[in-house]
Structure 1
Amino acid sequence: MSSAELKAQGNTLFTAKKFKEAGKKYTEAIQAGDEVADPEGLAVLYANRAACRLSLKRYMDAHDDAKKATKLDPTYAKAWARLASADDAMGNYPTSEDYWKHALDALPKSNLTPAEETQKAQYQAGLDAAMLNTANMKSTPIVGKEAVIVHDSQGRMPWDRAATIVDTLRVQRPVDVTSSAWVIHGAYEEFMEGVQKMKELTLNHATKEMRGRPGAVAALTNGLLRDIRVMHFTDNEFISRYNKQMEVEQYVYKPWAEAGPEVVIKEALARQRSQGWDSVRGSISLTVRAWIMRAVMDGGLRQRHDIAVEFYKRALDVLRSLRETWILAPKDDRGAVFEQSFMFGIQNHYLDEMMQSYSHNPDSELLEELFKEADRLIREVDEALRQPQSQEQVDPGFISSFYVYPRGAGFSMRGMYYNRKAMASPNDKRELHRKSALEYLKAAECFPQDDEKHPWFLNIALGNMFASHLFPLRETLDVMKKIRLSVPVAKKIWGFSSLSASGLWRILEGVGRQEDKLRGMLSQGKTTMSSFVGME
């Protein structure tokens, strides 16, 4: 089938709003086309596929396609407009301004057709909005849930409280390696190592030359992958300092600043073959870590969860693909980002952002993808834990941070999946709530008693147990008891946190009152341990 025929099929599918199918047809048409013979025709195909990807909220892929279209045909206004739209969606307003200007410049200067007049008005509106958003970015501080620092009356954060507990744990024999104190303390130390390196950056005002130590981005991302709850602004200069640090590290490591996964994979393989590991190891690492930082900023701070999902997915796509090819290469050659532990950390955050994105904009396809990714993470962690463990020394919180906690996240996401299915199902509500409860119980057991997530997941499990009407009182009371025993232990570290600020402890205190009431009914003979307890 010719490129023109495939394009026509793609256009029909696009008109029918079957964007995924249309994108596949445009891909086939691109593969069937001849770039040398018909660059303008191929530009249209890339721009059309960019439109599909914009509609599917795959903004980075849309950016890559539109960029390719503008290179093939710099006079193609629609390609510039789609490039601008992709950057607008990702919050890259300064660059989108430039692209909107290119789109306007590509239109005729006079004698515009009605369609071109409409385009001109749309592009001008896009430019005006991008300029306004750029101005707002410069004047408005970034505020979001992860930026909120909640501390106790002495100004202590969870990591401060954890530090005192870690000091005690270190002298115990045997050492308890399961405490969440190890996790948040380790995350804080790595995160602050990155902050300290950023603070060492200096600027020569005469030459405008920046000097700094590379490795800050690696330390920041290592800390965040251990535990995202460590994310906080250490001062008002954090974002500015980070951006300057990225400039320094980009100069050193030469990452792929704008390219998408397909380009990164292709060029990384070629570069490694022709120039060796030293030429590619740092480039891949910084590319992936920059995407992780962008995901954290967009998801945790700006509440742009769909963008965060894309960045995490992009990182996983590159690492999974290259790891397949480089599976036999030594760790020191290919780099730490290809270790399973590192990838499990990304998958953990990827799941959370998918869940947040779904919560803000429920979509059945995203929910199914969430379940598949959660299932995959659990299987991969279980398989990794069955393998003989490396003799490499790791700190006490390492296994919890990169294996056990991600596994718990996987179970919690499967629990969320069944819960949302139950809410949408007219027939299987009870059985779906039962499945949800069991998944959340598994999730809770992946977190130690002194982590706030342990009683929190138990509480969500309890809600699903009640909703299912399928659990006897002895089982619901057992969960309530676990919550009651966990609360004072978890409060020692997490008494003041972002989750606690949303009402965690007040909710769990309500569970305690509920338990007292049920135990009172039991002692009065109004119910039995075998009775099924439920509520709508």
Structure 2
Amino acid sequence: MSKPTAAQLKDEGNDFFRKQDYVGALAKYTEAIALDDNNAILYANRAACQYGLNRYLDAVDDAKMATQIDPGYAKAWSRLAASQDTSRKSAEAWQKALDALPKTYLSPAEQRQKDQYSAGLNAAQTRGKTPKNRCLLVSTSMMAISLGKLRQRCFLNSGKAGLENFSSSAWLISYAYKEFTKGVESINQLKSIPHSQAPGGLSYHGNLMGLTYLTNGLMRDERVFHINHPDWITKYNNQVTFEATTHQAYSGGVETIKELIQKRLKEKGWNDVRPALSVTVRKWIMKGMLESHLGGRPDTGVHFLKRAVDLLEWGRIVWKNVHKDDRGVIFQDNFLRGVRSMHLTMSMNAYSSDPSLNSKFHLEQLKEEAEDLLKEIDIMIASNNLSKEELDPGMVLSFCVYPAAIAHKTIGFYHAQKARYSNGVPACISLMNGVNAYLQAANTYPVDDEFHAFYLSCAMDCMRNAAAVALRAAVPKMMKIWAFSILQRGGRDEKIQAHLRRADEMMKLVAEGKLTLEDPVPF
């Protein structure tokens, strides 16, 4: 039986795409590209699949490839623009999509394309006028000072600490701060030396562990992120360039990288591929954090973390029989768990930036990912799969306890958000489920962590809101029989109405944007 041609695979991919089976379509287009890698339509079609799977960064890469192969292909430009909408950089691509269409005598299909592209351009230009969030150097410097003091206090007390004190959040933040600070020291050590044969006339010398330390610290606890110098970003970018160039790290989408990895492994082996993969994944993690924390764009940052998760999960399957020392630490359980936890947190932030039932960040998917993470942690605990030789006092907290707490608070977030789109009994049930999940989150965190108190507060807010929903529904039923009673004469109705008025006042503040349902409600 003859092998299918690229055209046949494309047709099969189109059939899957029409059925909205984006995974199946993506696989077919990828097979077709392997046979015909200079076909703009195949890359544009795969970009559409990536977009349908919410893999916007990979969609951008494929759409860019399509525009490079055929700069006059309007649909490729439109798919690049649609994919870039999430990063607010799409205006130029929408304009190029319009420019690629005929200027006159448009067919009905071309006119529909023109209307769509014009609407996309107008929306992109409107978004471009929205002021960006800025990160204040003062606040991050203060964070560095407070974390440094906490680290000192932790180690001063370590001599008299028993194993029971290893559950303190001080251990977690101390080790996280230590690793992140090592990363900052590494980027400060990078030196440039004039060299006539080097790209740009400069060669760099420094520590190739900078990205490793930075990302290790953030995976332990991303609250250690801070900037302590005005040119921090410039130095960081130079460090990334230095490490990526030295190890020939990958760029492009996950599907493209998968193909390149397999070929490079055959030619050069794990000693060459391992550091390249590590730098690739870690720079995605850092890019996601910078987009969120500095750019105020968690909706963009979350896609970089998702890209990292996708590549790690694929590698763990493909190389499950490869020794851990060969494939590298990034494929270890703790590393993936750390990245998944960060992805969950950033996904909640991304949803909160544009909450709705039609959000690109689906609540059901958030809940499902959180439940999967909890199952994984339960399996790990049951199998006692934590090697005591590899542990420091903060390791279990960073990669077992805190991921579980993040999963519980994600489930609490899910139920609290679902309550916003329900009424009566369903809303009350959602809120009470939120209470339970937030209490589990609070009780999973160490009692001296700020999150312990904060999620107790979230649980109380859900409980209060649930009581208001139930109370409002109960009053008319009560009045049918107990309109007059001793309790009623003692001020029952006045007290009930006071609570309901307070609930109405709070919801008015929410409607006016002065309060969110996640804010603690004053008594």
Q: Which segment is superposed worse, 407-416 or 48-57?
A: 48-57
The answer to whether 1:451 aligns with 2:449 is yes
Q: 2:226 is paired with a residue of what secondary structure?
A: coil
Amino acid at match of 1:164: Q
Counterpart for residue 283 of structure 2: 290
* Cα offsets for 1:74-101 (capped at 9, x unmatched): 54244245335545643668xx96x789
The answer to whether 1:190 aligns with 2:179 is yes
User: For the Cα contact (< 8 Å) 2:137–2:230, is it kept in 1?
Assistant: no
User: For the Cα contact (< 8 Å) 1:29–1:45, is it kept in 2?
Assistant: no
Tell me how far apart the structure 1 counterparts of residues 465 and 94 of structure 2 sit (CA, whole Å): 52
Deviation at 1:52, TM superposition (A): 6.0
The answer to whether 1:311 aligns with 2:304 is yes
Tell me how far apart the structure 2 counterparts of residues 32 and 338 of structure 1 sit (CA, whole Å): 26
1:468 corresponds, among 463, 466, 469, to 466
Tell me how far apart the structure 2 counterparts of residues 30 and 281 of structure 1 sit (CA, whole Å): 28
The answer to whether 1:159 aligns with 2:144 is no
The answer to whether 1:359 aligns with 2:347 is no
Identity %: 32
Amino acid at match of 2:433: K
Counterpart for residue 267 of structure 1: 260
Amino acid at match of 1:21: Q
Deviation at 1:196, TM superposition (A): 0.8
1:334-373 mapped onto 2 (5 Å cutoff): 334-361=327-354, 362-363=356-357, 366-373=362-369
Tell me how far apart the structure 1 counterparts of residues 132 and 189 of structure 2 sit (CA, whole Å): 24
Which structure ranks higher in relative contact order (CA pairs < 8 Å, sequence separation ≥ 6)?
1
Q: Which segment is superposed worse, 23-32 or 168-177?
A: 23-32
Q: 1:280 is paired with a residue of what secondary structure?
A: helix
Q: Which segment is superposed worse, 183-192 or 450-459?
A: 183-192
Counterpart for residue 66 of structure 1: 63
Q: 1:425 is paired with a residue of what secondary structure?
A: coil
Tell me how far apart the structure 1 counterparts of residues 283 and 34 of structure 2 sit (CA, whole Å): 32
Change over 3 Å in CA distance of 1:442–1:47 after alignment to 2: same
Q: 1:177 is paired with a residue of what secondary structure?
A: helix
Show structure 2 runs of 5+ residues with no match. 1-6, 196-200, 469-514
2:391 corresponds, among 384, 390, 394, to 394
1:146-225 mapped onto 2 (5 Å cutoff): 148-149=139-140, 151=142, 157-175=145-163, 176-205=165-194, 207-225=201-219
Counterpart for residue 407 of structure 1: 404
Tell me how far apart the structure 2 counterparts of residues 209 and 338 of structure 1 sit (CA, whole Å): 31
Q: Which segment is superposed worse, 317-326 or 67-76?
A: 67-76
Deviation at 1:46, TM superposition (A): 3.3
Counterpart for residue 294 of structure 2: 301
Q: Which TM-score applies when normalising by structure 1? A: 0.73
* Cα offsets for 1:212-268 (capped at 9, x unmatched): 22110111111111111111111111111111111110111111122x122223332
Change over 3 Å in CA distance of 1:239–1:351 after alignment to 2: same
Counterpart for residue 485 of structure 2: none
The answer to whether 1:378 aligns with 2:369 is no
Change over 3 Å in CA distance of 1:30–1:405 after alignment to 2: closer
User: For the Cα contact (< 8 Å) 2:248–2:276, is it kept in 1?
Assistant: yes
1:428 corresponds, among 406, 426, 429, to 426
Q: 2:204 is paired with a residue of what secondary structure?
A: strand
1:487-506 mapped onto 2 (5 Å cutoff): none
Counterpart for residue 527 of structure 1: none
Q: Which segment is superposed worse, 156-165 or 337-346?
A: 156-165
Counterpart for residue 274 of structure 2: 281
Tell me how far apart the structure 1 counterparts of residues 467 and 236 of structure 2 sit (CA, whole Å): 51
Change over 3 Å in CA distance of 1:34–1:263 after alignment to 2: closer
Tell me how far apart the structure 2 counterparts of residues 430 and 460 of structure 1 sit (CA, whole Å): 15
User: For the Cα contact (< 8 Å) 1:145–1:300, is it kept in 2?
Assistant: no
Q: 1:209 is paired with a residue of what secondary structure?
A: strand
1:240 corresponds, among 219, 225, 234, to 234
User: For the Cα contact (< 8 Å) 1:77–1:103, is it kept in 2?
Assistant: yes
- Aligned length, in residue pairs: 454
Amino acid at match of 1:462: M
User: For the Cα contact (< 8 Å) 1:146–1:231, is it kept in 2?
Assistant: no
Tell me how far apart the structure 2 counterparts of residues 202 and 256 of structure 1 sit (CA, whole Å): 23
Amino acid at match of 1:172: K
CA RMSD of aligned residues (A): 4.0
Change over 3 Å in CA distance of 1:102–1:283 after alignment to 2: farther
Tell me how far apart the structure 2 counterparts of residues 342 and 59 of structure 1 sit (CA, whole Å): 23
Deviation at 1:9, TM superposition (A): 6.2
Deviation at 1:333, TM superposition (A): 1.3
Deviation at 1:300, TM superposition (A): 1.9
Amino acid at match of 1:332: D
Q: 2:278 is paired with a residue of what secondary structure?
A: helix
Q: Which segment is superposed worse, 344-353 or 430-439?
A: 430-439
Deviation at 1:21, TM superposition (A): 1.2
Change over 3 Å in CA distance of 1:241–1:24 after alignment to 2: same
The answer to whether 1:143 aligns with 2:131 is no
Deviation at 1:335, TM superposition (A): 1.1
Amino acid at match of 2:182: E
